[in-house]
Amino acid sequence: MKNYKIAVLPGDGIGPEVVRQAVKVLDKVAEKYKFSVEYYYADIGGIAIDKTGEPLPKTTLSVCKSSDAVLMGAVGGYKWDNLPGDIRPEAGLLGIRAGLGLFANYRPAVIYKPLRDASPLKDRITENGLDILILRELTGGIYFGDKKRIVTEDGEPAAYDTMIYRKSEVERIARLAFEAARQRNKKVTSVDKAYVLEVSRFWREIVINVSKEYPDVALNHLYVDNAAMQLVIHPEQFDVIVTGNMFGDILSDEASMITGSIGMLPSASLGAESLGLYEPVHGSAPDIAGKDKANPLAVILSAAMMLKYSFKLKEASEAIENAVVKVLEDGLMTGDIATENAVVIGCEQMGDEVVKRL
Ligand code: IPM
Ligand code: MN
C-alpha cells in the first residue's frame, strides 16, 4: 500500500479547527482508496512565534522538506499585529513559500450550483456557472523585492517596496498558465499594469514570447483595474488568469467572493520539485476562532487538490469534491455560505457530513 507523508501546519485562529476536518476527510478517503497517510505536525505563524520567537522555525521547514506534501491552515491574529514585519505570522507564510520554492499558486474559483444564491452577483451573470483558475506568481514581485524605511534627502521619513521580476520567473509561470489552459478551455488572460509599470511591460513581452510555444491556446491581456471590473460584470470570459504576486493576491480574493464565500476557495502552491503546499485562500478569522463556526470546505478542497496535484490520485480527489457538492446539495451549509433554505451547521459537523458522503 502506498504511503504518503503529509506535513500538517494548522497555524492560528480557525486554522486548527478547519485543518482537523480535512485530516478526517483524508483518513476516510485513504481507507476507501487503499493508500495510507502519515501526518507530521509542525508550527507556523503566531503559535510558532509564541513557542520559539520565530514565525517559521527551522524544524518546520525541515519537516515540510521531508514530506510528500504540506497541508496548511492559516496564520495571523490580533495578538501579533504589532510585531515588526519580519517576525509577524505572515512572514512565516512568505518564508515557507520561498523556502520550498513554491512559485506557482493555483486558485480555482468555481461556483457550485447549490451556492448560486450565495454569490453577490445577479443570476443572469452566474447563470452558466463559473470556473476560473487564477494562477498567481508566488515567490517574486513586490512581495519579495527590496524594501526599506529611509529618510529622504530633505529629512522626511519614507518607505519603499520594489516590484521586480526576472525573465525566468515570468517564463516559468507563463508556461504553467498555458499548460493549465490546455487542460481546460484553452484561454489565458495575462493581467498587468503595462501602461504605468515598466515591470508590467516586461511581463507582457515575455508572456507573448512564451505564448508562441502554445499556438493552440488563446492569449489576451488586461490591465489589472479593468480585470477587477470584468470579474464582476463578465466573469464567464475567463478561463486561466495569470498574474504577478500582488495582483493575484487581490484578484483571487475578489474571485472568491463572487463564488459566494472566501470560505470555499482552496489553493495549491507548486514549484519545480514535486513537493506542494495546500492551503485555503482565507485567513485565520480570529473573530470566529474556536466557536465551531468556520467553513472547513476550503481546506477540505485543498486536500482534494493535494491528492490530484501531488499524489496523482484523481479518483480519490474527485470523490472529495463530489462529497462536498453532495453536502451542499443536501442543504447543509456553514453560516458564511448559508442560502435561504439551508440548515446551518458548524465546522465539526461539516467535516463529519463530508466524511459520511465519502
Ligand atoms: C494570501 C494571504 C497572504 C498573501 C498573506 C497572509 C501574507 O493574503 O495567501 O492570499 O498576501 O499572500
Ligand atoms: Mn490574500
Give Cα 121 to chain centroid, integer Å. Answer: 22
Cell numbers at 184, concatenated:
481546460
- Ligand 2 center to residue 83 CA distance, Å? 19
Which residue of 249, 256, 284 sits with most ligand 1 atoms within 8 Å of its CB, as the best mutation to test the pocket? 249
Which residue of 14, 44, 94 sits with most ligand 1 atoms within 8 Å of its CB, as the best mutation to test the pocket? 94
Question: Catalytic annotation on 193?
Answer: yes
Residue whose CA is closest, atom 8 of ligand 1? Answer: 249
Atom of ligand 1 nearest to the CA of 245: 12
Within 10 angstroms of residue 341's Cβ, the number of other Cβ atoms is: 8
For residue 62, report the phi and psi dihedrals to the nearest 5 degrees: -75, -35
pLDDT at 171: 98
- Ligand 2 center to residue 341 CA distance, Å? 30
Does this chain's domain 1-103+282-358 share its CATH topology with 120-258? Answer: yes
Maximum CA extent, the chain: 69
The DSSP string of 241-261 is: EEE-HHHHHHHHHHHHHHTS-
In sequence order, what are the beta bridge partners of 135?
Answer: 106, 242
Listed as ranges, residues in the chain with pLDDT below 50 are none
Question: Catalytic annotation on 253?
Answer: yes
pLDDT at 305: 97
- Choice among 4, 143, 165, 214 that is catalytic: 143
Give Cα 187 to chain centroid, integer Å. Answer: 21
Question: Catalytic annotation on 192?
Answer: no
How is domain 1-103+282-358 classified at the CATH fold level? Isopropylmalate Dehydrogenase (3.40.718)
Please report which ligand is nearest the Cα atom of 90. Answer: 1
End-to-end CA distance of the chain: 20
Question: Catalytic annotation on 249?
Answer: yes
- Choice among 28, 106, 165, 193 that is catalytic: 193
- The cell 485562529 sits on which residue? 13
- Choice among 43, 192, 249, 336 that is catalytic: 249
Atom of ligand 1 nearest to the CA of 94: 7
- Ligand 2 center to residue 77 CA distance, Å? 15
- Ligand 2 center to residue 282 CA distance, Å? 7
- Ligand 2 center to residue 342 CA distance, Å? 28
The single-letter code of the amino acid at 345 is I
List all residues whose CB is within 6 A of at least one atom of ligand 1. 90, 93-94, 249, 281
pLDDT at 65: 96
What is the tens place of the pLDDT at every residue in 145-201? Answer: 999 999 999 999 999 999 999 999 999 999 999 999 999 999 999 999 999 999 999
What is the tens place of the pLDDT at every residue in 242-291? Answer: 999 999 999 999 998 898 888 899 999 999 888 999 999 999 999 999 99
Long-range pairs for 193-201 at CB < 8 Å and ≥24 separation?
193/223, 193/224, 193/225, 193/247, 194/221, 194/223, 195/223, 197/163, 199/141, 199/163, 199/164, 199/165, 199/244
The single-letter code of the amino acid at 60 is T
Q: What is 120-258's CATH superfamily?
A: Isopropylmalate Dehydrogenase (3.40.718.10)
- Choice among 27, 117, 131, 253 that is catalytic: 253
Long-range pairs for 83-89 at CB < 8 Å and ≥24 separation?
83/49, 87/49, 87/53, 87/54, 87/55, 88/55, 89/11, 89/12, 89/44, 89/45, 89/46, 89/48, 89/49, 89/55, 89/284
Within 10 angstroms of residue 233's Cβ, the number of other Cβ atoms is: 10
Question: Catalytic annotation on 225?
Answer: yes
Model-level pTM?
A: 0.94
Q: What are the domain boundaries of the chain?
A: 1-103+282-358, 120-258
Hey, is 145 helix, strand or coil?
A: coil
Q: Which helix (H) or strand (E) holds 266?
A: strand 266-270
pLDDT at 127: 85
Please give the C-alpha separations between residue 123 and each of 73, 128, 251, 305, 342, in angstroms, as whole numbers: 32, 9, 21, 28, 18
- The cell 517574486 sits on which residue? 140
- Ligand 1 center to residue 179 CA distance, Å? 25
